Amino acid sequence: MTTHSQDSVLATIRAHHDQLGRTMADHSVTIARSVDRLMSPSARQEVLVAYCTEEVLPHAAAEEETLYRVAASRPETALLVRSMTREHVILRDLVGELEKAGTMGEIVSAAASLNALFQAHLEKENDVLLPALADAGVDLAGLLDGMHEILGEPAAEEGCGCGDCACGAAQDVQDGQDGQAAGGDVVGELDVRRVSHDQRHHQIFGTFRELPPGTAFVLVNDHDPKPLHHQFAADYPGEFTWDYVESGPDVWRVRIGRP
């Protein structure tokens, strides 16, 4: 397997990890935000449990059947993958705790614990396990062929049309990592400082909805738009990126993108 092919697969896996982690974080933030507003988080609780059941846990199971099975047979990664397999068990337990949680405090605590563990787990996979397997010469493309639970859904509509998510679309992700990968190519700037407050969110979300995948716009505001981030997390969990370009004291610029 060529280095280009190996790098493409690594970029694809990491891009899918980014999507999973971002969605998990958005759901967790939305649950906490509901409690801050003295609203019941039960509906968001059900959404997060469903997301974990349908996306996160199948992803973990697929990893155990492929990446972890190979890593367990190699001395340099055996101990690491034993620990990470244990984390999968804890993730499943935390999903169960979240599903059974009845009070606001229990729901927020379970969601926060689940999110914290998952983010740390993804970071170890991206920064330690995957590079170790690649350095050992493991054929990741062959090992993960057709494993959409790990690679994500094929990007046939936006990519080359081959239906293989480890091709050109993955290389685009990798090529963009040095710069605006998180927010995509900036297509314009939206300055809402002179827009009335009751119209700002309408214009911002309208601009976001018109963004093609892989692009972003820069929001210019006269205050920190942190409450806007909470609304994005509630309405578009895992479907947006948010990067501060400038943080006051008079002007805030945030690059908001569609992955």
pLDDT classification of 184: cutoffs 50, 70, 90: low
The answer, yes or no, to whether residue 180 has pLDDT greater than 60, is no
Query: Among residues of the chain, what percentage have pLDDT more than 70?
Result: 86
Mean pLDDT of the chain: 84
Write down the pLDDT at residue 182.
47
Write down the pLDDT at residue 2.
60
Write down the pLDDT at residue 4.
61
Q: Indicate the range of 51-65, 89-103, 125-139, 221-235 predicted with least confidence.
A: 221-235
pLDDT classification of 160: cutoffs 50, 70, 90: very low
Cα dihedral 65, 69, 71, 73 in deg (nearest 10): -170
Q: Model pTM?
A: 0.69
For residues 234-239, give the mean pLDDT: 86
For residues 163-183, give the mean pLDDT: 37
Write down the pLDDT at residue 31.
92
Buried b (16+ CB within 10 A) or exposed e, 94-131: bbebbeebeebeebbebbebbbebbbebbeebbeebbe
The answer, yes or no, to whether residue 175 has pLDDT greater than 50, is no
CA distances from 23 to 103, 144, 154, 234 (A): 23, 23, 18, 10
Ordered structural domains, the chain, with CATH: 3-175 (1.20.120), 185-258 (3.30.110.40)
